[in-house]
Amino acid sequence: MTTLLSTPPPDPALDLLLDEALLLDSPPSVHLHTPSADPSGMGVHMRCLAEGYVRRGREVTLMYWANDQAEELFAPAETHGVRLARLPHPRSTEYGARIAQDLRRHPSDVFHVHAGTGRENFDGARVAAGVGVPAVVQTLHLPWLLRNRRKRVGLHAALAPVDRVVTVSERQRATYERIGVASRRMVTVPNGVAPRAASPGRDAARRALGLTPRQPVVMTVGRLTVMKGQRHLLDAVPLLRRRFPDLAVVLVGDGHLRRALTEQADRLGVGRVVRLVGHRTDARSLLDAADVFVLPSLQEGMPLAALEAMDAGLPVVGTDVVGTSEVVEHDVTGLLVPPADPEALAASLAQVLSEPVRRRRMGAAGRRRYEEGFTDARMIARTAAVYDDVLARTGVRT
């Protein structure tokens, strides 16, 4: 069982220093850029940074490929004072030119690229460096798990013009070190999420989902994709149902596997147990309906869904993969199981469901761990410190 827990302990003095740095008379302006077709959790991360910087007096631009998914996620940031820069398809001949044009009209001190693994190399970092942006930073949101050595070439080319590479977890960072990204170029800033705005309470959340007050409820939130591992959770449901006949397993989120997962649940005879409720804007409020949160992912960078569950005071049963293993402290805030192992997943969920006192203790410990290491304020401050360090080294700002 992995026990790598690298999140820095609370440091009020450091946090105060970083907050003061954000309140300087002329804090650096920032372009936050992604070429992603579906920014998802990465986009939530970017909006969190963008809106946090605006609150602290920065000029911020969110630059993105204006497809439907990105537009739905990023457009609301404009009401918070974030400037939006919409781009054509990343493979368009106009893509690089439009980035350069926007940076010349609206210069920024920092160009911050966000990508999954970054190997796509859609030229954002190169163009920003070419037009003279003082600091080019790139956050990688997924671990490097590709075995094809030729695909590393694209990653190294994409990172060549980048001054600093940010990873979101230590185990994720190690995957890039193994393929030749120099350790001195990288820094780890763990993901963070804002605290929930409101908590409706258990009864109200269950009514919203059509659940009864006393039935055991397992919940997961995320896109319905292979990476998130929901099919392994469904394989665990028949095993769980033997012990908990009135069990409800709620999947919040949508994606291309929705039909396949529905058919799988019917084939397993648990179609009435498994509830696929689709994409919900009130997903964080619905967490109050759950007894335990489960994250059966095959890979992660650092899962925001687990952080949100901890903020809600839920124990988390997750897979022992990159990112999740640095969020969930085994047998303290939840349990870790091998990925793609329905039997182990069912056994761990059964443990948590059958022990209410232990469940509440884990949830409380998870809430403390969230507050100590994974808040949005901490992530915003530490990312801003990366900008300041790069700018200081280039002589632009001391």
Q: What are 132-152's pLDDT values in tens digits?
A: 999 999 999 999 999 989 999
The superfamily CATH assigns to domain 202-373 is: Glycogen Phosphorylase B; (3.40.50.2000)
CA–CA gap between residue 233 and residue 301 (Å, rounded): 20
Q: Where in the chain is the domain with CATH 3.40.50.2000?
A: 12-192+375-394, 202-373
Dihedral over alpha carbons 97, 103, 106, 108 (to 10 degrees):
170
Q: What percent of the chain has pLDDT over 70?
A: 93
Model pLDDT, residue 122 = 86
pTM for the full predicted model: 0.91
Q: What does the pLDDT look like over 283-335, one tens digit per residue?
A: 999 999 999 999 999 999 999 999 999 999 999 999 999 999 999 999 999 99
Say how many residues make up the chain. Answer: 398
CA–CA gap between residue 360 and residue 316 (Å, rounded): 11
Q: What does the pLDDT look like over 218-275, one tens digit per residue?
A: 999 999 999 999 999 999 999 999 999 999 999 999 999 999 999 999 999 999 999 9
370 Cβ neighbours under 8 A, 6+ residues apart: 193, 307, 310, 311
93 Cβ neighbours under 8 A, 6+ residues apart: none
Q: What are phi and psi of 305, to 5 degrees?
A: -60, -40
Supply the CATH classification number for the domain 12-192+375-394. 3.40.50.2000
317 Cβ neighbours under 8 A, 6+ residues apart: 292, 293, 294, 295, 334, 335, 336, 337, 345, 348, 349, 352
Q: What does the pLDDT look like over 354-365, one tens digit per residue?
A: 999 999 999 999
Query: What distance lies between CA 46 and its chain's CA centroid?
Result: 10
Pairwise pLDDT comparison (345 vs 13), residue with the higher score: 345
Q: Is the dihedral of CA 50, 375, 4, 220 positive or negative?
A: negative
Model pLDDT, residue 6 = 40
Model pLDDT, residue 142 = 96
